[in-house]
Chains A and B, each alone.
Chain A
Amino acid sequence: MSIWPAVEPLLGRVQKPARYIGGEDGMVVPTHSASKVAWLLVYPDAYEVGLPNQGLQILYEILNERPDALAERAYAPWLDMEQQMRANGVPLFSVDGHQPASAFDLVAFNLSAELVYTNLLNCIDLAGVPVRSADRRPEHPLIAAGGHCTFNPEPVADFVDFFVIGDGEEVVAEITEVIGAWKRSGKTEGSREHVLHELAKVPGVYVPAMYDVEYEGAALKGVTPRYPDVPAVVEKRTIADLGAWPYPKSQLVPLTEVVHDRLNVEIFRGCTRGCRFCQAGMITRPVRERPAAQVRQMVSDGLERTGYDEVSLTSLSSADYSGIDDVVKGIIDDPACSGQVGVSLPSLRVDAFTVGIAAEIQRVRRTGLTFAPEGGTWRLRKVISKLIREDDLYGAVESAFSQGWQRVKLYFLIGLPTETMEDVEGIAELARNCASLGRTHTKKVSVTASVGGFVPKPQTPFQWFGQDTVSSLKSKVNRLRDVTKKDRGVNLRWHDPQATLAEGIASRGDRRIGTVIEDVWRSGGTFQEWGEFFDLSRWEGAMERAGLSIDWYVHRDREESEILPWDHISAGLHKDFLWGDWQDALAEAGTEDCRWTPCYDCGACTGFGIEHVVASNIPPAGGSQGTGQDLSTGGSVPVKLLTKVGGR
């Protein structure tokens, strides 16, 4: 039953009440029934951050298309709304039909950043469910989680009944069937253990309660299954063909302002650039491109349906899509798009060719361009395998300024392995040189160097690396401030090094970190992604109360032989491949993009019997970085990985 009558009187008393009303174009208000497994899909951050999430929207549609399932959505209520809800006994509710969380069989969270973990606990609590799995009873909805963070599920393993590792498109069907059987059985006393055991047999599903964790002093000794039919290692799920999943078909159009407020079409999943700091690039392999014809269809249908005048072609590195220029020109020249459609490519590659595409698609609004060299010197960029030469960057920037852009933003990381102050100062030098290039074209040049602290992530070659300390990161930021102070046109921005530390605690923690997360949440530490609410002292205090060492969890280099908390979760990457790549990093040797060069057997393709799928066998012109080849003009290369060519 809808609890809208209880929600409505609260909305006059909160900021941005439109966060809680639903009503988006594309919304479904499903009818609950005994024969349908009810999913509540939750993004545990503010509505305006969570609404655009494509993963959640994809599953929302897939589940609502099934006759045996339904899905609604919820987002973390902002602090003022939470206060009103708690004072008036209003539980977490869906924005679609304003159903209370208790009306659902499972509450499934999207975890795409570690600092939302305290919001996860808050939402479970607001749902009226005990925050620890062990305290739950059959009448409570199951608590599930998916998303990139689940590649190390251990820090939140005590709070989540089951995790889904990898792509969700297919596995949600299998989960629905298991939970449907549980629902039909009447969810009797003691049945919760049984349904979790059944879920643990579904490939890609990890049920923490089915595993014993042993420690030897501070060290982890192992995470082992308690039953013979529960897998020792949970392998991620991967859909082989993105073209078979043209979702979302009806992207939600919000009534109020959100981030990424435009049509989003995913053009490929996975990335083979091999940047060693990038968890997304490691865990989403192999590359699966959407057929070009399908991309064009989704764009034109989506624009017509939504009324948006901007489309973003999303992926981890959109300029790497084979045939990107044809797709982009197709959109711009499509008469149905009226010549008024803006196209944006997130994660621009750093080269002049890419800027050429950008010039093509931003005929009207040339505001700013963003590049991500990540490291300040060529030596460091070889360490992280982000193989951008200075000439690539200067070529890109020169091209941008000469074509009318006035603002360029450069993303960098500090605290990378082997980094010296020389590498840090290299950031300032690159920014300074870019500004000088700009001044030959425009007086109003602005180059912003945006600097973030590096957090080593699980399932990457840098998972063994000891994270930089807050004081060291601060001194690097201070040096950058000093050396850029007198540079005209150069602006410096940096991420709070204290938030970097908290993210480090949550990223590579084991199950013992759950106590810390619960402590931070109980002390009121929600919305930790938001600078105004983040407070490191909560995290430091919680670590101390739990008797856990920040140094041991965050700043310590790991040994090759060490059992890592996520060793029983597999993204397909062989651990010896990752270790070898870590050693190559220390030897300052980059890795090539394996889409256009022979396979180096990371394990992602071979382990799952799948391959890269590209829309065209011609690599994108200018895509030289990482391949060691001259691809400046495009042209065919010997690729044996291609299994599918062209549209479906």
Chain B
Amino acid sequence: MKICITNGRIINPCTKYDKVSDVWIDGKKIISVGKKPTGFIAKKVIDATNQIVCPGFVDLGSYLQEPGYEHKATIASEAKAAAAGGFTSICCMPKTNPVIDTPAVVELIKERARGIATPKIYCIGALTEGLKGQVLAEMSALREIGCVGVSNAREAIQDTVVLKNSLEYAASIDLTVFMSCEDPWLAKGGSMHDGLVSTKKGLIGIPSSAELIALSKVLILVEQTGAKVHFHALSAGRSVKYISDARQKGLPVTCDVSISHLNLCDQDIKDYDSNYHVRPPLRSRRDKSTLINGLKKRQIDAISPHHEPQDADSKATTFSSSEPGISSYDTFLSLLWALVRSGQLTESRAIESVSCAPGRALGKGDNGIIVGDVADICVFDPNLVWTTHSDNIVSRGKNTPFLNREMTGKVTHTIADGQIIYSRS
């Protein structure tokens, strides 16, 4: 479709382009920026006055809950929520039922997304069969069918031999491994960060050392195996130093932090509200500011939603008995822009860390607003004020600590592969 986005402020972090101008799209691609192509008649004109036009957001790993947990959410429901949140590419985590450890499950997910206007959906396959940490998954077959990487989700591989071998095997077929780091013994029974707040609430704490120990173990094995590893959702401030030291040694590692951990800390947990129950847990205020600082200095590459929709019953219980997870597609842009408005991130760095940087971690290169590029674009109004309600949250999961809050900033249009997949009207 021929689309023209007019009068928007185009921010393209990778080329440092920042200018009020127009973008022309034909078919899947951007055919011009700034200068109208001769004879172009747009079928759809998007007036982006006072809005920002930027590369579409890339999600590095969310729990879409299908197949297996359709009572929580479905691929269709969450793809729609992702589109409304400005995402043009999303990755689904293998923790489904059945687990994404065979090409058949990947086919099923592709099938479920067929025929609906959605972001591009990529699968992250299982690192071990059934995520059980015992037998390696058929990674080569998973790569063939299109998996962008492999992961054991949040299931720890306790046997270090299996961990080493899985990294080694992934390295030999050049597949990125997405790692969540949490020592299962130190985290056992825990539901929040180990600190003054957990002591006051009488909840079992998960110390930062649970993340640091698991992270260092993987980093040592990365050095040994040469595996390309992306670390998901770092939560402890000290992890940033571990990662940057590894990079200085030249290890092929990247990392992200979740939007929730940049906006919340353990002190924000209201009473025992289970909507704040998330893994890794929300850590201290100090951890939060170290993570933001790490993003600024590019020691952390990307910000990801780590969207995890839950059904009401999974949260309608006590904090420790509730299922972890925050539904974050709907509030993602508002929370990202809150970091910009408070001066913690520049506009350019904020956009880069949710678009080009995660795109690079996925091996998809920089997606940008550049002539000749695939048109994956997000248009948002940074000043639009709205209030979150369970009925205007697109995701089926209403499990967000930001429910019934006034938010600033909202996505108005999302374009993926040159198709308008979301339009706020």
Q: Do A and B come from one complex?
A: no
